[in-house]
Structure 1
Amino acid sequence: MTARRGQVTGVMRMVLRALLAAIVGGVVGTAAYSISQTGGQRLSIVVGCLIGVAVVLGTELYRRSARLTDVQLVVLGSQMSFKAKTDMRQAAQRMFFQAATRIATRPLEDGTGNLREALTSLKTLFDLYREPLESESTPPPPARGDSVYELALDILNFELAPFLAKWHPRLREFEESHPDQDESAWPENAAFREELRMLQENLRHYVIGLGEIAGIRDPERHLHRSSWSTTRGGSAVPRQQAADPGTTR
Structure 2
Amino acid sequence: MGGVIGIAAYSISQTGGQRLSTVVGCLIGVAVALGLELYRRSAQLTEVRLVVLGNEMSFTARTDMRQAAQRMFFQAATRVATRPLEDGSGNLREALTSLKTLFDLYREPLEADTTPPPPAKGDSVYELALDILNFELAPFLAKWHPKLKEFEDRRPDQDESEWPENAVFREELRQLQTRLRPYVIGLGDIAGIRDPERHLRPSARSTQPRPPVPQQQASRTSPQG
Within 5 Å, give how 1:85-124 maps onto structure 2: 85-124=62-101
Within 5 Å, give how 1:223-238 maps onto structure 2: 223-225=200-202
Indicate the larger mover: 120-129 or 43-52: 43-52
CA shift, 1:35, in A, is 2.7
The aligned residue for residue 57 of structure 2 is 80
Quote the RMSD (CA, aligned, Å): 1.7
SS of the equivalent of 2:28 reads: helix
The size of the alignment, in residue pairs, is 205
The aligned residue for residue 15 of structure 2 is 38
CA shift, 1:81, in A, is 0.9
Separation (CA, whole Å) in 2 of partners of 1:35 and 1:199: 69
Among candidates 195, 198, 202, match of residue 179 of structure 2? 202
**Does the aligned pair in 1 maintain the 2:82–2:180 contact within 8 Å?**
yes
Separation (CA, whole Å) in 2 of partners of 1:146 and 1:115: 35
**Does the aligned pair in 1 maintain the 2:12–2:20 contact within 8 Å?**
yes
Separation (CA, whole Å) in 2 of partners of 1:54 and 1:116: 58
Separation (CA, whole Å) in 1 of partners of 2:20 and 2:186: 54
Among candidates 116, 119, 122, match of residue 145 of structure 1? 122
CA shift, 1:28, in A, is 3.0
The gaps in structure 2 that reach 5 residues or longer are: 208-225
Separation (CA, whole Å) in 1 of partners of 2:107 and 2:27: 48
The reply to whether residue 54 of structure 1 matches residue 31 of structure 2 is yes
CA shift, 1:223, in A, is 0.7
CA shift, 1:54, in A, is 0.6
**Does the aligned pair in 1 maintain the 2:65–2:125 contact within 8 Å?**
yes
CA shift, 1:29, in A, is 2.5
**Does the aligned pair in 1 maintain the 2:4–2:28 contact within 8 Å?**
no
The gaps in structure 1 that reach 5 residues or longer are: 1-23, 229-249
Q: TM-score, normalised by structure 1?
A: 0.77
Aligned letter for 2:145? Answer: H
The reply to whether residue 159 of structure 1 matches residue 139 of structure 2 is no
> Structure 1: which 4+ aligned runs deviate by more than 6 Å?
none
The reply to whether residue 178 of structure 1 matches residue 135 of structure 2 is no
Q: Percent of counterpart pairs with the same letter?
A: 83
Separation (CA, whole Å) in 2 of partners of 1:207 and 1:34: 56
Provide Cα deviations, 1:152-205, integer angstroms capped at 9, x if missing partner. 100000000000111111111111111111111111111111111111111111
Q: TM-score, normalised by structure 2?
A: 0.85
